[in-house]
Amino acid sequence: MRNSARVTAMVALPDHLARQLPAGFRARIVTTDSEHMHVLEWGPADADRTIVLVHGNPTWGYLWRKVVAELLSRDEMKSTRFVVPDLIGLGMSSKPDMAAHSLVHHSQWFGAMLDEVAPGPIVIAAQDWGGPISMHAMASRMNRLRGIVLGNTSVSPPHPNFKPTLFHRLSQLPIASDVLFRGLGFPLGVLHTSQGDKSSIRGEVAAAYRWPLRRRADRAAPLALARMVPDRVDGHVSIPALRISQYTFEMAEVPVHLVWGMRDPILGRVINHLSRLRPDAEVTRTEAGHFLQEEVPVPLADAIADVAKRAWT
């Protein structure tokens, strides 16, 4: 896989999705190899300060809209550019088949996008699979990393005593997992169950998450990304790459802020491990669930602004 990208076209989001996003966004497609990554941007196009916000499985850049809106409202962020990509396989990005998905491939796609769209110094804010993907990509770009904000993610290989969650056990079932994830669209219809406030993903918000994956043929990524989570302590293909992700997180000499939804049934307790890896990190614990951007956008924006201030002073 080549590690290069190019901007190929502008993209028009459907009106019913575009109106839910903060005003003033720019949308583009970045082509890397044969895949196309959809990227949203806000703020001055020529800004020398860039914050990249990275979602996970099975969402898309829409997840960050409330946080972006909050940051755009702050005077100290007026000269900052915000870059919000859709990971390959999700959102408005291209939808390759199952075999294309791995942590290494996602890191290469994401890194190529960064080199094209945000080639200068950056702050990374990431959640779920956005955490290990961005940390792996930054391992070879440490000189450009200025700060890290993580929320409800894991960037490490599994602990020797770990037990896979029901969600991840389901993804490993032959035949049944394909029917569940690709046929029935799991887990898109039940995202609210992982929230502290179940009403935070309902109505048009829930529909916005389902829309990019409304066709069965486009639903490889949620299952593939679920299977990318190690289900054993050795021998899983993601483990070597996760060691690199952890190394970046531990060794990067940059300010770190962790914002956590403690009512997350999947990753709620991972905050303890990350805090041990980075005892210097600022930590904000909340009563949110897994998709904390929907429930606590202001504390997340506070953390990003805090890291940005420390990064660029």
Question: What's the CATH code of the domain at 94?
Answer: 3.40.50.1820
- Which pTM does this prediction carry? 0.96
Residue 150 belongs to some domain of the structure: yes
pLDDT at site 246: 98
Query: What's the total number of domains in the chain?
Result: 1
| Residue closest to 207 by CA, chosen among 16, 11, 12 | 16
pLDDT at site 1: 53
pLDDT at site 70: 98
pLDDT at site 5: 73
Query: For residues 290 and 4, what is the distance between their CA atoms, to the nearest angstrom?
Result: 33
Tell whether the model's pLDDT for residue 232 goes beyond 90. no
Domain coverage including residue 281:
6-311
Residue 147 belongs to some domain of the structure: yes
Q: Give the helix/strand (H/E) hosting 263.
A: none
Residue 67 belongs to some domain of the structure: yes
Residue 281 belongs to some domain of the structure: yes
- Identify the band that residue 85 occupies on the pLDDT scale cut at 50, 70 and 90: very high
pLDDT at site 307: 98
Residue 229 belongs to some domain of the structure: yes
State what percent of residues in the chain have pLDDT above 90: 89
Residue 1 belongs to some domain of the structure: no
Tell whether the model's pLDDT for residue 9 goes beyond 80. no
